[in-house]
Amino acid sequence: MRVLFLGDIVGSIGISAASDFLPLIRKEKRIDFVIANGENATKGKGLSEEDYERISSFADAITLGNHYRSQYEIDRFIASADKLVRPLNLIHYHKGEGSKVFYCKDIPIRVTNLLGAAFMNETVKSPIETMEGLEEEFIEPIHIVDYHAESTSEKQIFAYYFDGAFTAVIGTHTHVATLDARILPNGTAYQSDAGFCGSYESIIGFDVDSTIERIVFEKGKLSVSQEGERVVYGTIIEIDENTFKTISIEPICYLEGKESYHG
């Protein structure tokens, strides 16, 4: 089984990039199941119901992150959004679910979303404490964790601590794909960050000029870059359908105008 994990989708341009490139990616990479991080899909912050539906048209599971509630309307639809997985370790938010089981070829796939503790604004329960013991309760043969966090070492600590308990631990949030995709000694596939989907000539998906104005001169506000070539970063995890062992992890990057991917 080949699972495609797409990094944070940023804005409408990110949704269209993922949606438009997926037929080619499916054809070239034989994808069976798609997980997409949708926390920045609506104007760069959060996920509206309309954008949830748009991403649902091409993704089987949609994870979130620190922007899980940046669009307040999520309170209204999260309970009925079957594909949506919000961070499991939130302390003050109880709507929706942080870990869900999906099916692909009749094989159960658990998808869990966790929010990191370091350098993040939200106070969360420690991801390790949250998952301690649950790996025995979660009996599905395939379990993929989206670890949404700023700190790469925090993600590595978690992945090594639970190495072998999960099929894959894939990082999100920084929007910058890392070159450390590998299978850890006990079999967990790992990558510190899967990257993002959106405007290529941008600062993590946001307009270059408005980001510099905002951060350097404290003027205006951040806006999603809507121009230029679109890019889709993600990573593909291949899993043996009999033993459920991880066979490989392969980061991908599809850039508009290029015939195929470049790594």
Q: Report in angstroms how near the CB of residue 185 gets to Fe ion at its nearest.
A: 29
- Per-residue interface string for the shown chain with Fe ion, residues 172-211, x marking contact by CB under 5 A: -x--------------------------------------
Distance of CA 167 to the CA centre of its chain: 15
Vertex 129, ends 234 and 118: CA angle to 5°?
60
Among 1, 5, 8, 46, binds Fe ion (CB under 5 A): 8
Q: Report in angstroms how near the CB of residue 149 gets to Fe ion at its nearest.
A: 8
Q: Which amino acid is at 196?
A: F
User: In terms of Cα–Cα distance, which of 97, 89, 202 is closest to 149?
Assistant: 89
Q: Which residues ranging from 22 to 41 are in contact with Fe ion (CB under 5 A)?
A: 40
Secondary structure of residue 14 in the 3-state scheme = helix
Of 59-67, 89-97, 103-111, 229-237, which segment contacts Fe ion by CB under 5 A? 59-67
Q: Report in angstroms how near the CB of residue 205 gets to Fe ion at its nearest.
A: 8
Q: Report in angstroms how near the CB of residue 8 gets to Fe ion at its nearest.
A: 4
| Contact call for residue 113 and Fe ion (CB under 5 A) | no
Q: Which residues ranging from 60 to 99 are in contact with Fe ion (CB under 5 A)?
A: 65-66
Q: Report in angstroms how near the CB of residue 103 gets to Fe ion at its nearest.
A: 27
Q: Which is nearer to Fe ion, 87 or 251 (CB)?
A: 87
Q: Which is nearer to Fe ion, 42 or 246 (CB)?
A: 42
Q: Which residues ranging from 202 to 261 are in contact with Fe ion (CB under 5 A)?
A: none
Q: Residue 229 and residue 241: Cα distance in Å, rounded?
A: 36
Of 42-50, 82-90, 171-179, 236-244, which segment contacts Fe ion by CB under 5 A? 171-179
Vertex 136, ends 64 and 113: CA angle to 5°?
5
In this structure, the number of other CB atoms found within 10 A of the CB of residue 97 comes to 17
Computed from CA positions of residues 85, 131, 67, 224, in that sequence, does the dihedral angle turn out positive or negative? negative
Q: Which is nearer to Fe ion, 26 or 45 (CB)?
A: 45
Runs of H (alpha helix) within the chain: 11-29, 49-56, 74-77, 127-131, 134-137, 152-161, 208-217
- Write the burial class of residue 2 (CB in 10 Å: 0-12 exposed, 13-18 middle, 19+ buried): middle
User: What residues are annotated to the active site?
Assistant: 67
Q: Which is nearer to Fe ion, 1 or 155 (CB)?
A: 155
Give the footprint of Fe ion on this chain (CB under 5 A).
Answer: 8, 40, 65-66, 173
